[in-house]
Structure 1
Amino acid sequence: MNDDKQPPQQPQGNPWMKNLMIWAGILLAVLFFVQVAGGGGSAPAGNSIGYSDFLQKVEDGSVKNAVITKEYIQGELSNGQRYRTYAPQDPQIIDRLKQQGVAFSAEPEPQTSVWLILLYQSLPFLLMIGIAIFVMRQMQKNAGSGAMGFGKSKAKMLTEKHGRVTFDDVAGIDEAREELQEIVDFLKDPSKFARLGGKIPKGALLVGSPGTGKTLLARAIAGEANVPFFTISGSDFVEMFVGVGASRVRDMFEQAKKNAPCIVFIDEIDAVGRHRGAGLGNGNDEREQTLNQLLVEMDGFEANEGIIIIAATNRPDVLDPALLRPGRFDRQVVVPRPDIEGREKILAVHMKKLPLAPDVDARTIARGTPGFSGADLANLANEAALLAARKGKRLVAMKEFEEAKDKVMMGAERKSMVMTEDEKKATAYHEAGHALVSLHVPGCDPLHKVTIIPRGRALGVTWNLPERDRYSMNMKQMKARLALSFGGRIAEQLIYGEDELNTGASNDIQQATDLARAMVMEYGMSEKLGWLRYRDNQDEVFLGHSVARTQSISGETAKLIDQEVRRLVEEGEATARKVLTEHLDELHSLAAALLEYETLSGEEAKKAIKGEDIGREDPSKRHPALPVTGTSIPTTRRPRGGIGGPAPQGA
């Protein structure tokens, strides 16, 4: 796409309505002509009288003259008045007029034009032919979306000059950008690569988690390359009729050949490119035929020179192997989640559109958002701007970014939710137990924030964030996470007793069980079971035996797996119990601080367990302190958020 400035095009009206108005005008003109031509002139002048009165006036000698036509008798009376009357078929009228000496004459019947007769007879046929022509023109003009356009491609050619996205707008994924920059350079100067024998890649597959910027990269390619750019979704090929998708693939490549060199972007290609023969029964014939046609068009007997296919998916594991081989998709470009440097660059891109206060630091925000994708960071900046606007501020300050980060990570505060004092105390001890374990067990991520304000579906949240980006976890960190999971349940048990346990720790127990089972069955962290994988990808049950296979586990092995999972869970529980028992005074202090302030940062929590003033001077953030002695709590509770925080890869 070039940068030539063109005046904005005025929006055009609906062509259907325009043509319909033209034909309606023609029809009204014809009807008006027929009405005028068939009217035979104006009605005769004079006062209308009845035929019996006319005969009476003839007998009285009051009629001076008469003009007889087929329908009327009109003329002049003796007093000078004009008259007219309807003339029935009266054969004696001539004799009466003669007897009374009335001067009379007759006018012949007007002859109807031959052309008018032909028009009368042909008008219905002309109307039918006009409607047929109108319908056929519309079907030809809108073949891609009309009733006869099932097999037409729905690919759209990007020609907009406004809203242009370039590689300058893509940040945090430098490696993926460099891979695609080479394709753009090839399109701009093919001779640079051709003289060394290099050939342009036929396809590039963008692989990455949702929100990492795959579609944004494709839009940047459209903004950088001065070639036509077609975009289509994988679901646009799939229809209920067999063969329609294949026809659309053929039509799309025909359009691309006419505009070569060009780029075709297929978003969510896994909708049409899934593994063939993987469904229950005979599979999906329409989808498989569409995929077969796509394979042939990309690399078959006929070469498609100058057509580059760029596709995006977040499920590369379900794609057909024939689609991924060299010659079709020559490159698989991984679009990962950005690291801290990438997050800072992405935030800088989005912050350029916001009026920022001097205290806003993109580096600090990037450090506190590990695991965020580009879409998450865009949402974070937007939420901060909305919060500032809601408060009536003219600048977006760091405080709004912190509140927006908490909202995105932990959910919106449910300030309208009314909790009893007993529930507040129980929630405070639960979250204080999580926080205290994270502060005393080696391997836990640093404590970021702990709150007893309900957020999302949780009554309280303890949030731990790693000091830097993490791509794997070791056994020490996983065992620490197991202990962290049981901090809330153990704290409630120590304060309220065994009989007052409630359902609030259900989410913590689920996280701990899943992690322990993954350690045993997937990560080889059990000495008794060894370095064997006992669980394949169970999410894809439709991929066939060549891709996913269910492991057959004997009864003794399954029993040993359960024993090892139980051992890891019980070790985590014992670690949490030991920490909270040894630091019971700190548990009371931290719970009291939570009841007073409701939300504490990691540094404030450390000061609270040491009995130091956390340094808040704003009295609006303080709440009346409540006694922290044991009190009974309800036995039915909503699940709490427990140990919040982004899970690293592999955890």
Structure 2
Amino acid sequence: MKNDMLKNVLIWTVVAMVLMSVFNHFSTQGQNSSGRLDYSDFIEQVHQQQVSKVSIEGQTIRGVYTNGDAFTTYNPGDPGLMGDLLDNQVKVSAQPPEQQSVLMQIFISWFPMLLLIGVWIFFMRSMGGGVGGKGGPMSFGKSKARMLTDDQNKVTLDDVAGADEAKQEVGEIVDFLKDPTKYQNLGGSIPRGVLMVGPPGTGKTLLAKAIAGEAKVPFFTISGSDFVEMFVGVGASRVRDMFEQAKAHAPCIIFIDEIDAVGRSRGSGMGGGNDEREQTLNQMLVEMDGFEGNEGVIVIAATNRADVLDPALLRPGRFDRQVTVGLPDIRGREQILKVHMRKVPLADDVEPSYIARGTPGFSGADLANLVNEAALFAARNNDKLVTQKHFEKAKDKILMGVERKSMVMSEKERRMTAYHEAGHAIVGWLVPEHDPVYKVSIMPRGRALGVTMYLPEEDSYSYSKRKLESQLSSLYGGRIAEELIYGPDAVTTGASNDIERATMIARNMVTKWGLSDNLGPLMYEEDDKGGFMGSSRNANVSGEISKEIDHEIRNLIDRNYKRATDILTEHSKELELMTEALMQYETIDAEQIKNIMEGRPAGEPKDWQGSDDHDSSASAGSDSEVKAQDESEKPVDMVKDDLSGEASSEEAKNSEPKLH
């Protein structure tokens, strides 16, 4: 970077010097325009004997008046000039005209064009890429892949945790890169391409880098979007250049991140077969399985949209091996935490296993963020060690958002918020197969005004009908609590997000998961693979079936709404006790909730230190126009309720079970 800056400064300095010299040359010629005298006036001054001497240089006449002033004029070709000068006692001297060299004349005439060409070359060099930063006037066709040598890449498989199955899958690739003859002697060949599929943040890039670091081979990395440009053919040229460079450094690894940017199914673009992206894909297919073998060159690609890739990419001979890098289980999360905890000073009370149990659905990136947030909390408090309390605060911040103690609302609104969240918690506590209540808070966090957090006891991969209906009941608990205490006319808009999520769960139960007794195990709605993730479109159903779907969805909602109403009516005492506890402490934990549900006083939270840390006036007002923060990156089994009622629709998708 430093050399590039120095190089650019030198180039612009040279350009500036050339411009100054040329402009100076022209300005010097123009300086003589000062004191310019018309020829007729000059002859008149000669006849009046006002001119003492002249110097003739070609057609240019430079003279001096008798009073010492200088002047310049131009001879139009007067044949009697010399006679007039000599007759009037003017001293005449003559010099040959200044002759410019042919090269200078050519340079001056061509200078503007040369300047434009030079500027164009300069910018093309700046835009040029290529491995190692080398570029040229036509370097836009060069590959933008960055190469890491074995000395630069220090990542090994020991640095990858929580993906034991994936590491085992790629282990033989490492062996092949270290000793290719071991497989070639037996007639075997290593897969040409490995496609890593998994949610964002699960470590696909890290695993690919670890393969190269473990085998000590060069590692080329590039994004799928780096191939595609506005000029047709540039992407294909970059693919060819990348593979040529890879062959020169074989054995090596080419890693293409987000390959779905260039590897989508052909025929779906607006440009047809001449589309730049499709031509780039065609070139990649040829390079991976063309007439020439790429011995020792292994292509690894990563995507979280394997369903949109072109089938030709996935056939044997290209990306013929798919490695699923999924979300880590509880043991994997513990291992990942230990890897990231190496960088921070830990107190003796930190238990990675306990933190791993409380973070189901977290990816490796989420866990790295958790450790970093805990370290930031410790630094903010000027602590020397990161304690378990810091990790709890970091987890609450990630799951529920940042506390907003600056927001103020009336006592009546705070109490309504407390009833709302207590309704969620009590119904969730009592319905079967529901995730245990982890924490309830009326402290505004992020854009959420009130939060009821449910934390699974173990990782879940599929949901039963009973569990889904329990979720429907608990989602309506907040609205029902408001209705029971304040009456139907006082119900607020705070339940809008609860209604949205409940409706989506009920619709999926009927149209996707076959959990309707009347409609049976048929799919009436399917995922739209051409649209956004999670989007759906209606299958071809008749108007009568559509009415039946709406009727079944309404029955599901009504049945669970009534169940939640009966539960809260029966446990009105617990509703009042939990509301009072929330009004006093603002946040209550699972132990306090258990005490309330068993008829005992709530008691103080473990980390509660009085009103200094919990400003009773700092709560959020209900605002139906404020949208809650996007929860699309939250763990699958985490359920978050916010009184603002406007969370992203992605959150409802997160309530979907993972079907086998």
Indicate the residue corresponding to 1:435 in structure 2.
Answer: 425
Indicate the residue corresponding to 1:49 in structure 2.
Answer: none
Q: Secondary structure at the match of 1:595?
A: helix
| Cα pair 1:144 1:153 within 8 Å, conserved | no
Q: Cα 1:130–1:521, aligned 2, differ >3 Å: closer, same or farther?
A: closer
Q: Secondary structure at the match of 1:620?
A: coil
Q: Give me the TM-score of the superposition, normalised by structure 1.
A: 0.80
Q: Cα 1:133–1:574, aligned 2, differ >3 Å: closer, same or farther?
A: closer
Question: Are 1:619 and 2:610 an aligned pair?
Answer: yes
Choose which of 202, 212, 227 in structure 1 pairs with 2:202.
Answer: 212
Q: Which runs of 5+ in 2 are unaligned?
A: 29-44, 74-80, 130-135, 629-639, 643-650
Distance across 2 between alignment mates of 1:615 and 1:519: 40
Q: Secondary structure at the match of 2:141?
A: coil
Is the deviation greater in 588-597 or in 179-188? 179-188
Distance across 2 between alignment mates of 1:73 and 1:621: 96
Distance across 1 between alignment mates of 2:23 and 2:427: 91
Q: Cα 1:621–1:534, aligned 2, differ >3 Å: closer, same or farther?
A: farther
Choose which of 166, 170, 190 in structure 2 pairs with 1:200.
Answer: 190
Indicate the residue corresponding to 2:327 in structure 1.
Answer: 337
Distance across 2 between alignment mates of 1:474 and 1:34: 88
Q: CA deviation at 1:147?
A: 6.6
Distance across 2 between alignment mates of 1:217 and 1:91: 98
Indicate the residue corresponding to 1:521 in structure 2.
Answer: 511
Q: Secondary structure at the match of 1:573?
A: helix
Indicate the residue corresponding to 1:571 in structure 2.
Answer: 559
Q: CA deviation at 1:382?
A: 1.7
Is the deviation greater in 283-292 or in 23-32? 23-32
| 1:243-254 equivalent positions in 2, closer than 5 A | 243-254=233-244
Q: Secondary structure at the match of 2:286?
A: helix
Indicate the residue corresponding to 2:641 in structure 1.
Answer: 642
Choose which of 443, 446, 450 in structure 1 pairs with 2:440.
Answer: 450
The one-letter code of the counterpart of 1:614 is G
| Cα pair 2:149 2:217 within 8 Å, conserved | no
Choose which of 365, 368, 376 in structure 2 pairs with 1:386.
Answer: 376
Q: Cα 1:587–1:203, aligned 2, differ >3 Å: closer, same or farther?
A: same
Choose which of 550, 554, 557 in structure 2 pairs with 1:562.
Answer: 550
Q: CA deviation at 1:72?
A: 11
Choose which of 219, 225, 233 in structure 1 pairs with 2:223.
Answer: 233
Q: Cα 1:393–1:118, aligned 2, differ >3 Å: closer, same or farther?
A: same
Distance across 1 between alignment mates of 2:625 and 2:484: 18
Q: Cα 1:592–1:303, aligned 2, differ >3 Å: closer, same or farther?
A: same
Question: Are 1:373 and 2:381 an aligned pair?
Answer: no
Indicate the residue corresponding to 2:294 in structure 1.
Answer: 304
Q: Secondary structure at the match of 1:182?
A: helix
| Cα pair 1:470 1:648 within 8 Å, conserved | no
Deviations 1:195-250 (A, max 9, x none): 22220211111111111111222232343343332222111222333333223322
Indicate the residue corresponding to 2:142 in structure 1.
Answer: 152
Distance across 1 between alignment mates of 2:70 and 2:225: 77
Deviations 1:151-182 (A, max 9, x none): 33222223495574332221111221222332
Q: CA deviation at 1:528?
A: 2.1
Q: CA deviation at 1:595?
A: 0.5
Q: Cα 1:134–1:72, aligned 2, differ >3 Å: closer, same or farther?
A: closer
Indicate the residue corresponding to 1:531 in structure 2.
Answer: 521
Choose which of 3, 7, 15 in structure 1 pairs with 2:7.
Answer: 15
Choose which of 592, 597, 608 in structure 1 pairs with 2:580.
Answer: 592
| Cα pair 1:211 1:376 within 8 Å, conserved | yes
Q: CA deviation at 1:524?
A: 1.8
Indicate the residue corresponding to 2:108 in structure 1.
Answer: 124
Q: CA deviation at 1:614?
A: 1.5
Deviations 1:270-309 (A, max 9, x none): 1111112235795872222222222122113333333221
The one-letter code of the counterpart of 2:594 is K
The one-letter code of the counterpart of 1:605 is I
| Cα pair 1:589 1:611 within 8 Å, conserved | no
| Cα pair 2:125 2:139 within 8 Å, conserved | no
Indicate the residue corresponding to 1:476 in structure 2.
Answer: 466
Indicate the residue corresponding to 1:540 in structure 2.
Answer: 530
Indicate the residue corresponding to 2:34 in structure 1.
Answer: none
Q: Secondary structure at the match of 1:619?
A: coil
| Cα pair 2:433 2:466 within 8 Å, conserved | yes
The one-letter code of the counterpart of 2:451 is V
Q: Which runs of 5+ in 1 are unaligned?
A: 1-8, 37-51, 57-65, 75-82, 98-105, 627-632
Distance across 1 between alignment mates of 2:625 and 2:572: 24
Distance across 2 between alignment mates of 1:493 and 1:614: 28
Question: Are 1:552 and 2:543 an aligned pair?
Answer: no
Q: CA deviation at 1:93?
A: 10
Q: Cα 1:226–1:577, aligned 2, differ >3 Å: closer, same or farther?
A: same
Deviations 1:380-427 (A, max 9, x none): 122222222222323222222111111111111121111211111111
The one-letter code of the counterpart of 1:589 is L
| Cα pair 1:503 1:639 within 8 Å, conserved | no
The one-letter code of the counterpart of 1:642 is D
Q: Give me the TM-score of the superposition, normalised by structure 2.
A: 0.79
User: Looking at CA atoms only, which structure, 1 or 2, has the larger radius of gyration?
Assistant: 1
Indicate the residue corresponding to 1:189 in structure 2.
Answer: 179
Across the aligned residues of Structure 1 and Structure 2, the Cα RMSD in angstroms comes to 4.3
Deviations 1:297-353 (A, max 9, x none): 211333333322111111011111111111110111111011111111111122211
| 1:154-173 equivalent positions in 2, closer than 5 A | 154-159=144-149, 161=151, 164-173=154-163
Indicate the residue corresponding to 2:645 in structure 1.
Answer: none
| Cα pair 2:150 2:217 within 8 Å, conserved | no
Q: Cα 1:342–1:636, aligned 2, differ >3 Å: closer, same or farther?
A: closer
The one-letter code of the counterpart of 2:600 is G
Indicate the residue corresponding to 1:491 in structure 2.
Answer: 481
Distance across 2 between alignment mates of 1:513 and 1:450: 23
Distance across 2 between alignment mates of 1:329 and 1:290: 16
Choose which of 456, 462, 466 in structure 2 pairs with 1:466.
Answer: 456
Count of matched residue positions in the alignment of Structure 1 and Structure 2: 603
Distance across 1 between alignment mates of 2:274 and 2:574: 62
Distance across 2 between alignment mates of 1:572 and 1:68: 114
